[in-house]
Amino acid sequence: MPEDHDDPGCVIALDVGGTAMKGALLDRGLVPLVTLRRPTPRALGPEAVVDEITATVQRLAREAAARGRGVHRAGVVVPGVVAEELRTAVHSANIGWRGLPLADVLEARTRLPVTLGHDVRAGGAAECSLGAARGARNVLFVAIGTGIAAAVICDGRPVRADGYAGELGHVVVQPGGDPCGCGGLGCLETVASASAIAAAFTARSGRPADGAAAVAALVAQGDADARAVWDRAADALASALATVTTLLAPEVIVVGGGLAEAGDLLLDPVRARLTARLTFQRQPALVRAALGDEAGCLGAGLAAWRAVDGADGALRPERADRTGA
C-alpha cells in the first residue's frame, strides 16, 4: 500500500527458521507493537511452509488493522541461499524449496508489498544498526547453531554475491575430515556447530549429551572429555575466523546463535586462538551478539522500512532506543 504520512503505520517482520517463525509489527523506531511465534511445519513439505508464512503475514496484517495502523510493507527473511535482487529463495536444505519466487508468491497471496531477505544477513544488519556492532563499517556476524553461517558487511554494505556469500560453515578446517551435509569433508560445521559438538562429545565419552549447552555445562564443571571437544571446536572456529580476517579485515566479529549463549566460555578460547594466528592483520574485536533471537526479525523490519524509504542498501545506525521512550 502507498505510504500515508498521516498514518504512523508499521511494517510486518517475519523471520522464518527451520523450527519456528518469529513475527512482529514494528513501528518506524523498530519498537514491536505485536509479536508472535509459530512453528515452521517443514515436516509437511515446502508448500506447507509457504502456506504458514502466508497465514502468519495475514494474521499480523489483521493485528495492524485492529490497532488502526496501515501496513506499508512486509519483510520476510528465510534460511538457505537467497537472491534478494531476484526476490527468490534459491535453495534451502532445511525447508526443501528450490528456485522459489517467494516474494512474488507472498505478494499475490497477501496483497502486500514484500521484501525478501536472508535470515543471517538480516541478523547481521540488525546487529550493525542496533546491536553489538553499532558504528562499525566492516563486520562479520557469525550465527552458530545447528549449522554455521555468516553475514559479511564491508565498508558499510552487505556482501551478497547473488545470495551465495557468507557460507562460513563450509570453509574446510580439517581436510579429509568428517563428511558434511553439503557433500564436502571437514567443513567447519562438522566440528564447531552445536550439533557437531554434542555428537563429538557422545562419540568420545560414550555419554549422551542433550545438545551443546549440556557440553558447555560440563566444560564449566571441568569435565575432561567436554573440554577436549570444546577446545577442538574453538580451534576450528579460530582457524576459519583467521582466514576471514586476513581476507576481509573486519573491525568486529559478532557471534550469535544458540552456541553464543555460552558467552565467555566460548569467546575467550576462540579470541585467544584467533589472536595467536594473526600477525600483521587488523585484530578484530570478538563480541557476543546483543539482540539474541530477535536479530533476524528486527533485520527483516529494517529491510522493509528501507524499502519503504527507497534506501540504497547501505547499513546506517537506527534509533538506539527501541523501548518507545
pLDDT attached to residue 310: 87
pLDDT attached to residue 250: 97
32 and 102 housed in the same domain: yes
Q: What is the CATH number of the domain that holds 97?
A: 3.30.420.40
Residue 294 within any structural domain of the chain: no
| Enclosing domain of residue 66 | 10-119+300-309
pLDDT band per the 50, 70, 90 thresholds, residue 312: low
Q: What pairing do the DSSP bridges indicate for beta strands 114-118 and 10-16?
A: unpaired
pLDDT band per the 50, 70, 90 thresholds, residue 319: very low
- What pLDDT, in 10s, does the model give residues 25-75? 999 999 999 999 999 999 999 999 999 999 999 999 999 999 999 999 999
- What pLDDT, in 10s, does the model give residues 211-248? 999 999 999 999 999 999 999 999 999 999 999 999 99
Cβ proximity of 34 and 25 under 8 Å: yes
154 and 199 housed in the same domain: yes
141 and 207 housed in the same domain: yes
85 and 218 housed in the same domain: no
Domain tally for the chain? 2
Dist. CA 149–CA 256, nearest whole Å: 10
Residue 62 within any structural domain of the chain: yes
Dist. CA 305–CA 314, nearest whole Å: 13
Q: Give the DSSP H or E segment for 241.
A: helix 224-248
pTM score > 0.85 for this model? yes
Can you tell me whether residue 39 is helix, strand or coil?
strand
List, as own/partner pairs, every contact residues 62-69 make where C-beta atoms lie below 8 angstroms and the sequence separation is at least 24, other chains included. 63/25, 63/33, 63/34, 64/10, 64/12, 64/25, 64/33, 64/34, 67/25, 67/33, 67/34, 69/7, 69/8, 69/9, 69/10, 69/25, 69/33
